[in-house]
Structure 1
Amino acid sequence: MRIFTVLSTTVLLCGVAAFGQTKLAATPPMGWNSWNHFAGRVTDADVRSAADMMVSTGMRDAGYVYVNVDDTWQGERDAQGVLHPNKRFPDMKALGDYIHSKGLKFGIYSSPGAKTCGKYAGSLDHEAQDAKMYADWGVDFLKYDLCSFEDNMKKVQAEHPDDPEAANKLMIAAYRKMGDALKATGRPILYSLCQYGVAQPWTWGPGLGANMWRTTDDIDDTYGRMIAIGFSQAGLAKYAGPGHWNDPDMLEVGNGGMTTDEYKTHMSLWVILAAPLLAGNDLSKMSEVDKNILMNKDAIAIDQDVLGRQGDRLFQSGDLDVWTKPLSGGRVAVGMFNRSWSNREVTVDLAQIGFKDGANVRDVWKGKDLGRRTGVVRDWLPKHGATLLIVGK
């Protein structure tokens, strides 16, 4: 979530992945986040209900394990600086215990600034104190959102006009400070940087102990915004892998703003990108179509493949795209996308993706094996539609 414009970006290179990152997020994290549906209205009861639904719908067993409370849970700090939750969240440890009792993991939200996006208390100058509190509550995931820290960045940049990197250095130091604080607790807490791609976090996030980082500004529940974000990920594949993932933001599947074909495009693109899969819908009102998209076993298997490779664009021709993702066992996932407003034929040459003698092809959304194919594979896609294939010998 974001409510302001950030500074322009520049590259700052930092070290290598911290010990333990790979074990903590060996595959892209999967779960649910409260923001896209509930925003600032979320309550303890809403989160407990989401945890219940993740079990009863089969989402947990499909791999969605994090239950993340986004912004607006915070209350005020006491005289000792301890941050207490507000009246909508009477007992955060009890909430975490409830989530854990369901075989799920507990996520929370804060900001390196004095305030969060929703103008609630952030963690500035309380990083170690907050990290210890999260660990005491049993938190397993922290989303750390830039928000009001932009004011600090603007101030330091004005003070150091001869250093064009001053603001970005300050931001990276702030994210490092919380990363160190989380590590010091001794509890494995997945660290998610939410800073909208500022200063190209894929180049420095691993050195701070981060497990994922936002590569773009916020998504919304529209086809145009979703594809703008998704297709902008071309070229970032080399920065992702076990323990550290590019994050193009949460899933909008089931929130009602897109068609079924558009939501299949959304899911297809995100799994090709090895993106974290964080659902953001009202789980109590999921349709069977929503469930079939979010819990498609083949699609999830592409995202969660043990090889840990992000996909990239193979080619683009006008409104047609083909993307591929290397999979374990010498297989390849292929995403074929039609961004036009009419039905179009999209093709992929199997020889071009390493199968000059042909391959076995499975259509993920049709849920069936297409048999052995050679040469060019073709499909007619509806407007804004996608085909997702698994190709292997």
Structure 2
Amino acid sequence: MSIRFLTHLLAGTTLLGGALACPAAAQKAAPKADFHTWAARPPMGWNSWDCYGPTVTEAEVRANADYMAQNLRSSGWEYVVVDIRWYVGNDTAHGYNEKDPDWNLDAYGRFVPAVNRFPSAAGGQGFRPLADYLHGKGLKFGIHIMRGVPVVAVQRRLPILGTKLTAADIYSKEGQAGWLHDMYTVKAGPGAQEYYDSLFELYAGWGVDFVKVDDLSEPYHKPEVEMIRRAIDRSGRKIVLSTSPGETPIAEAQHVAAHANMWRTVGDFWDSWEQLKEHFAVCSRWAPHIRPGAFPDADMLPLGRLGIRAERGDDRQSRFTRDEQYTLMTLWSIFRSPLMFGGDLPSADAFTLGLLTNKNVLAMHRRSTRNRQLFRRGDLVAWTADDPATGDKFLALFNAQDQELAPAAEAAWAGPLLTRQTPGHSQAVDVDITSATTLYLNVRDGGDGIAWDHADWLNPTLSNGTETRSLTDLPWQKATAGWGQATVNKSVSGAPLMVNGKSYEQGIGTHANSLIEYQLPAGYTRFRATAGLDAAGAAQNTGGTLQFLVFTKSPLRPAPADSVRVPVALAQLGVSGTCTVRDLWTGQATTVSGEFAPYVRRHGARLYRISKAEKSAVLK
């Protein structure tokens, strides 16, 4: 038993904001107001995950809160959320420390903040001082937790507050997350609800306003969703509930909307155009389920400065182009997704700040109704929504056209679909490259919609029958990756190349969808490698479905035009006569009738308010 655990054990709950109070405190009557009214509009805030992974510190949280209070609060941004593993004192970036984690938990098996990272939690105060600091600035405080009961609490048979049971009486190994092993499932039965009640009583005592519960939505753990809902209601505090990750099963849309304020529609979303493009179908699928206080969550906004100590990639500015950033903000806003900014706020530049504070875009996000896809013509997409106060229409236009790739039938070599069920998580690659001057290594998503497609080209070599040369000795001409950057002798996550439990010193780590181009030295006749699903992808609950291909001629088709017209008949919007069309991003206005057909840049977006002529009201 660690000294830190003993400290919390001896401190009891007097120092934890009344955690040793009478068990009846956990059975407070539910607030009279329906929990949906606690977040009638989509929540907006900052979350530490995209910048700091599981290692954020109190100083970094306060710095981002200070910036939000000064620059964003007046625009409606209010939540500051500490993401995963705030209870581990020695966690690491680019992969969780599961070898010797420095756990911090109290006498009742509930995690508490690591004091070396959150000094104000000293003396058993938990997150109360940090929450008070944020509340003093007019902000709200949120935390991330994992579904379930801590494995370490089960091992130590720690008691459940208000019962004669222990953590060992309420757990099941069934359904444990495959990507992080901190928790066991809480099985329904004696002590289960009391355990969750004790958690949210503690969080209420800390002043928590928002809880993101991970490993809850996909797969969907209905019994624990219901226990968490009851626990929040019994806590007596208005705590907004966010479930994660996704995609939440759409068959459970009514159930999740009856229990949570927001729920994930996708897995972790990063600064990848391929992932962003997938959201058009996802958002269209979930738009019918948007309700006041219950919002499908398209995940965070990976904008500005990212990856300071994150799980994906290194310290960088968002890889989204400015056009793609407009697409992201426009789609999230007209879909009415919660907006959780992932970048480091103190590092934000003027362009990023402008995206976050456009009053007309945010007003549409706050109060528009009937948000829906109007049409999709190939990769030209239109969304629309209504302004219930004025009768005006909103129109978002997107150009998601890409430079297309040749079909697999044209490849010099195309492997079968590779999944975690593939023996050895790998397949041999052997390609005739006689007379070829270029080599293109291509990895494509297998179509499962999950982004954990970590791919490795292991021991890639060129040979001519007598001489063999490692491809990793040559510089590539160009390299793209679905997220992150292709890397030599490391996986795309930055970890060692690892496939099916075996590590490799030589290879190329990348991600679907990716294309790596090489100029070949003369005389080589064969390319050989092992194509593998990296352990970082294979370890996830879902995903890791991809196809490896090799081309000796460019697989890229001619690029589409930089801009194309996207015509919309105003009658499709239910509008007739002459109208004023105002660009919500630029403020420029024009008058049209019959048809509106602006040019939209490739990967870009336009967003408009359409009013009867002579009407140019600006939303307040």
TM-score, shorter chain, exceeding 0.5: yes
Specify the alignment match of 1:367 in structure 2.
Answer: 587
Alignment-mate amino acid for residue 272 of structure 2: T
How far does residue 122 in structure 1 lie from its aligned partner after superposition? 7.8
Equivalent residues of 2:288, 2:372 under 8 A apart: no
Structure 2: gaps of 5 or more residues: 1-31, 88-102, 122-126, 151-176, 187-191, 306-317, 403-561, 613-620
Instruction: Establish whether residue 98 from structure 1 lines up as the match of residue 159 from structure 2.
Output: no
Specify the alignment match of 1:336 in structure 2.
Answer: 397
Equivalent residues of 2:55, 2:86 under 8 A apart: no
What is the alpha-carbon distance in structure 2 between the residues aligned to residue 279 and residue 84 of structure 1?
Answer: 25
211, 222, 228: which one pairs with 2:278?
228
Q: Deviations over 1:270-323 (max 9, x none)?
A: 011011011111101111111111111111111101x5x352211111221111
Specify the alignment match of 2:228 in structure 1.
Answer: 178
What is the alpha-carbon distance in structure 2 between the residues aligned to residue 252 and residue 369 of structure 1?
Answer: 30
SS of the residue corresponding to residue 235 of structure 1 reads: helix
Specify the alignment match of 1:290 in structure 2.
Answer: 352
Paired residues for 1:317-332 under 5 Å? 317-328=377-388, 329-332=390-393
What is the alpha-carbon distance in structure 2 between the residues aligned to residue 373 and residue 21 of structure 1?
Answer: 43
Instruction: Establish whether residue 27 from structure 1 lines up as the match of residue 56 from structure 2.
Output: no
Specify the alignment match of 2:146 in structure 1.
Answer: 111
What is the alpha-carbon distance in structure 2 between the residues aligned to residue 122 and residue 278 of structure 1?
Answer: 28
SS of the residue corresponding to residue 53 of structure 1 reads: helix
Equivalent residues of 1:111, 1:122 under 8 A apart: no
Paired residues for 1:140-151 under 5 Å? 140-146=209-215
Specify the alignment match of 1:80 in structure 2.
Answer: 108
* Structure 1 range deviating more: 293-302 or 198-207: 198-207
Question: Which structure carries more helix by proportion?
Answer: 1
Q: Deviations over 1:206-257 (max 9, x none)?
A: 222x111111222111111122124321132221111111111111122411
Instruction: Establish whether residue 61 from structure 1 lines up as the match of residue 74 from structure 2.
Output: yes
Specify the alignment match of 1:267 in structure 2.
Answer: 329
Alignment-mate amino acid for residue 73 of structure 2: R
- Identity %, equivalent residues: 34
Paired residues for 1:123-272 under 5 Å? 124=186, 125=192, 126-146=195-215, 168=220, 171-200=221-250, 201-208=252-259, 210-255=260-305, 256-272=318-334
Instruction: Establish whether residue 358 from structure 1 lines up as the match of residue 591 from structure 2.
Output: no
Equivalent residues of 1:76, 1:121 under 8 A apart: no
How far does residue 197 in structure 1 lie from its aligned partner after superposition? 2.5
CA RMSD of aligned residues (A): 2.1
* Structure 1 range deviating more: 72-81 or 110-119: 110-119
What is the alpha-carbon distance in structure 2 between the residues aligned to residue 122 and residue 295 of structure 1?
Answer: 41
What is the alpha-carbon distance in structure 2 between the residues aligned to residue 345 and residue 95 of structure 1?
Answer: 50
Equivalent residues of 1:253, 1:294 under 8 A apart: no
TM-score of the pair, normalised by structure 1: 0.84
SS of the residue corresponding to residue 53 of structure 2 reads: helix
From the superposition, tell whether residues 226 and 64 of structure 1 become closer, same or farther in structure 2 (CA, over 3 Å).
same
Equivalent residues of 2:253, 2:289 under 8 A apart: yes
Count of aligned positions: 352
Equivalent residues of 2:248, 2:263 under 8 A apart: no
What is the alpha-carbon distance in structure 1 between the residues aligned to residue 261 and residue 185 of structure 2?
Answer: 19
Structure of greater relative contact order (alpha carbons < 8 Å, 6+ residues apart)? 1
Equivalent residues of 1:68, 1:106 under 8 A apart: yes
How far does residue 120 in structure 1 lie from its aligned partner after superposition? 4.6
Specify the alignment match of 1:160 in structure 2.
Answer: none
TM-score of the pair, normalised by structure 2: 0.54
* Structure 1 range deviating more: 350-359 or 117-126: 117-126
From the superposition, tell whether residues 310 and 257 of structure 1 become closer, same or farther in structure 2 (CA, over 3 Å).
farther
Q: Deviations over 1:327-348 (max 9, x none)?
A: 2221221110001243211121
What is the alpha-carbon distance in structure 2 between the residues aligned to residue 65 and residue 243 of structure 1?
Answer: 16
* Structure 1 range deviating more: 62-71 or 248-257: 248-257
From the superposition, tell whether residues 38 and 389 of structure 1 become closer, same or farther in structure 2 (CA, over 3 Å).
same
What is the alpha-carbon distance in structure 2 between the residues aligned to residue 61 and residue 179 of structure 1?
Answer: 31
Over 4 Å off, 4+ runs: 115-125
